[in-house]
Structure 1
Amino acid sequence: MTEMLAARLHIPTRELRMERVPVPEPGPGQVRVQVRAAGVCLSDVHLVDGTLSPLWLSGDSVTLGHEVAGVVDALGPGVDGWSVGQRVLLQAGEVNLRGTVLTRGVDYDGGYAEYALASATTVVPIPDGLPFEQACIIPDAVSTPWAAVTATGATRPGEAVAVWGVGGLGAHAVQLLRLVGAAPVIAIDPLEAARERAVALGADVALDPADPKLRDSVMDLTGGEGLGVAFDFAGVAPVREQALSLLGKGGRLVVVGLANKPLTIPNDLGFAYFGQSLHGHYGSQPEHVQQLVTLAGRGRLDLSGSVSDVLPLADAPAAIERLARKEGNPIRLILRP
C-alpha cells in the first residue's frame, strides 16, 4: 500500500504528529488532489490548543488543513468534467446529504498531506498564472472577509469603513474594501507592525485602538458622520463596544472574529434612533471563492504579499507554533509537500 506524509491531530491529547498514512483512494463522486500548497490558519492553531473542537468528526484524529490547492491526481467513479493534472483549489468545506456543513481539516481529512480527497462539487479550477501558494488561501483567508464585505456588510462605494484587527483575515479585508470602493478605509490595530502593513495594503489611515483621540480621528476622517460599516476581525470583546460607538446613521457592525463572550449594545436609544444594526458573519459561499479566483486571475487582486513564508509539510507543527506566537506578524504561512 502506497503511503504519504500527513499532519494528524489526535483530538483526545491535542497532539499534532507527522505520520505516514495510506494514500486515500477516491470514492464515487470524489477527486484526489496532489497537494501543492496549504495555508496555515488561526483556526488550526485553535484546534491544536483545544479552543476549537470538531463537531462531526468520525474517529479521534484528523488531518488538518482547510486551505488547499494542487493538481487533480485521480478521479473516482462517476466523476466527469475534470482531468488529471488540472490545477485546482478546494472549497473549505461541503454540505452533506443531511444538510450539515462539514469543514475540511476539521470534520474530515484536510490538506496538510501529500494528497487530499474532495467531493467533485467542491473542486474549483484555477488559471495557470495564479500560483498555488496564493490560490490555496482564497478559501477562508480571503473568501471569509470578501463575503463579510460584500454580502453581510453590503458595503457600498464611497462608504466609510473601519477594520479592527489586521491579521490574516483583516489584512485581506483592507484590500477588498479598497477594491469595492469603500472610502475612507480605516485600519485599527494595537500592533504598530500591523498598522504599517494595513497602510501598505491600501488603508487610508491606521489607528491605535488605545489612542484617546481615536473617536475624534474617525469623526474627522468621516466628516463627522461616523462609520457606515465596522468590521470586527479581532475577536476581542472591547472592540465591539468601541466599534458601535463610532457607527453613523444606518451603520452596521459585522462581527467576524470570535471571542466567545457576551455581546452588549451599550446604548439602545442611539442604536435604534440611528437605525444601526449588528450582524454575525461566518465563512463564505462557493460563489465567493469563484469570484475571487476570477479577480485574482485577471490581476484585479494581488495576493503575493499575503504569503509570509513557505515551509515544507514536515514543518507543520513548527508552522502552527509560529502562528500561535505571531512570530514575524504573518498574514499566511504556507506548507508545501
Structure 2
Amino acid sequence: METMPAGRLHVESRRFAVEEVPVPVPGPGEALIEVRAAGVCLSDAHLIDGTLSPLHLEGEAVTLGHEVAGVIHATGPDVAEKWRPGTPVLLAAGQVCGECGGCRGRRGSCRKLLTRGVDYDGGWAQYALAREDTLVRLPEGLPFEQGAIIPDAVSTPYAAVVTTAGVRPAQAVGVWGVGGLGAHGVRLARLAGAVPVIAVDPLPEARQRALDFGADLAFDPADPGLAEAVRGATGGLGLDAAFDFAGVTAAREQAAGVLAPGGQLVLVGLTPEPLALPYSILFSYLGQQVKGHYGSAPEHLDQLVQLTAAGRLDLGPSISGRVPLAEAAEAVAALEGKNGAPVRLVLIP
C-alpha cells in the first residue's frame, strides 16, 4: 500500500502529528490532487487547541488544511474531461452536503456545509481528494502558494466585504484585527472603494502592515482617543461597516460603539464567547445591525481568480513564509505566537 505524510489531528485527544497514511483513491466524481501548497490558518490552531471542534466529522482523526492548491494527479470515474491530470487547481475550502433540503432545492441553501480539513480530510498532505465541484482552475503564472490562500484567507473577507456587508464606494469601513483575514479585509475594502478604511490592531507591526496594504488610518485599540478619531475621520458619522476579524469580545464592543446610523457590525472572526451589545437601546434607535459571516461561495473564488489574473490583486506580499510539511506544528506555533506578525504561512509537502 502506497503511503504519504499527512498532518493529522486526533480530535478527542487534540494530538497533532505528521503521520504516514494511505494515499487516497479517487472515487466517482473525485480527483486526486498532488498538493503543492497549503495555508496555515488560525482556525487550524483553534482546532488543535480545542477552541473549535468539527461538527460533521466521521471518525476520530482528520487531516487539517482548508487552503490548498496543487496539480490534478488522477481522476475517478465520471469526472469531466477538462479536469485532466497535470491541470493546476485550487480547492474550495468546503462543499455542500448534497443531501439536505437546501441542497435538494426545497429550502434555500445547504444546511450542512462541510469544511475541508475539519469535517473531512484536507490538504496538509502530499495528496488530497477533492470533489469535482470544488475544483477551480489556477490561472497561468499564479504561484501555488498564492493560489492556495485564495480560499478562506482572501475569499472569506472578500465575501464579507462585497456580499454580507455590501460595501459600496465612499462608505467608511473599519477592520478590527489585521491578521491573515483582516489584512486582506483592508485590501479588499479599499478595492471596493471604501473611504476611509480604518484598521485597528494592538500590534505595531500589524498596524504598519495595514497602512502598507492600503488602510487610510491605523489605531491601537487601547488608544483612548480611538472613538473620537474615527468620528473625526468620518465627518462625525461613524462607520458604515465594521468587521471583527479577531473574534474578540472587546473588539466587537468597540466596533459597535463607532457605527454610523444604519451601520453594520460583521462578525467574521470565530469565537465561542457570547455576543454583547453595550449600547443596545441606541443600537436599536439608530437602526444598526449585527451580521454573522462564514466562508465564501463558489462565485467568490471565480471572481478572485479573475482579479488576480488581471493584476488587480497581488497576493505576493501575503506570503509570510514557506514551511516544510514536516514542520507543520512549528508553523502553527509561529502563527499562534504571531512571530513576525505573519499574514499567511504556507506548508510545502
Same fold (TM over 0.5): yes
| Amino acid corresponding to residue 250 of structure 1 in structure 2 | G
Match of 2:109 in 1: none
Aligned-pair Cα RMSD in Å:
1.0
Deviation at 1:33, TM superposition (A): 0.5
The within-5 A match list for 1:139-288 is 139-288=151-300
The within-5 A match list for 1:70-81 is 70-80=70-80, 81=82
CA offsets per residue over residues 64-108 of structure 1, 9 Å max, x none?
111000011101001112111001000001112223211111111
CA offsets per residue over residues 266-305 of structure 1, 9 Å max, x none?
2233222322111111111111111111111111011111
In structure 1, how many angstroms separate the alpha carbons of the residues matched to 2:60 and 2:305? 34
Is the aligned partner of 1:121 residue 2:133?
yes
Kept in 1: contact 2:6–2:126 (CA 8 A) = yes
CA offsets per residue over residues 32-83 of structure 1, 9 Å max, x none?
1100000001011011111111121111111111100001110100111211
Q: TM-score, normalised by structure 2?
A: 0.94
Deviation at 1:328, TM superposition (A): 1.2
In structure 2, how many angstroms separate the alpha carbons of the residues matched to 1:132 and 1:171? 20
| Amino acid corresponding to residue 187 of structure 2 in structure 1 | Q
In structure 2, how many angstroms separate the alpha carbons of the residues matched to 1:316 and 1:12? 20
Match of 2:106 in 1: none
The verdict on how the C-alpha distance between 1:61 and 1:307 changes in structure 2, with shifts beyond 3 A counting, is same
| Amino acid corresponding to residue 278 of structure 1 in structure 2 | V
In structure 1, how many angstroms separate the alpha carbons of the residues matched to 2:260 and 2:52? 35
Identity of aligned residues (%): 60
The verdict on how the C-alpha distance between 1:286 and 1:316 changes in structure 2, with shifts beyond 3 A counting, is same
In structure 2, how many angstroms separate the alpha carbons of the residues matched to 1:267 and 1:2? 59
In structure 2, how many angstroms separate the alpha carbons of the residues matched to 1:43 and 1:205? 27
Question: What secondary structure, in the 3-state scheme, does the structure 2 residue paired with 1:308 have?
Answer: strand
In structure 1, how many angstroms separate the alpha carbons of the residues matched to 2:285 and 2:11? 48
How many residues are matched? 337
Deviation at 1:19, TM superposition (A): 1.4
Q: TM-score, normalised by structure 1?
A: 0.98
Kept in 1: contact 2:51–2:272 (CA 8 A) = no
CA offsets per residue over residues 2-37 of structure 1, 9 Å max, x none?
211111111122111111111111000101110000
CA offsets per residue over residues 215-240 of structure 1, 9 Å max, x none?
11111111111111111111111112
Deviation at 1:309, TM superposition (A): 0.3
46-55 or 35-44: bigger deviation: 46-55
The within-5 A match list for 1:63-74 is 63-74=63-74
In structure 2, how many angstroms separate the alpha carbons of the residues matched to 1:71 and 1:104? 17
Contiguous gaps of at least 5 residues in structure 1: none
In structure 2, how many angstroms separate the alpha carbons of the residues matched to 1:222 and 1:14? 46
In structure 1, how many angstroms separate the alpha carbons of the residues matched to 2:118 and 2:280? 38
Deviation at 1:178, TM superposition (A): 0.5
| Amino acid corresponding to residue 98 of structure 2 in structure 1 | L
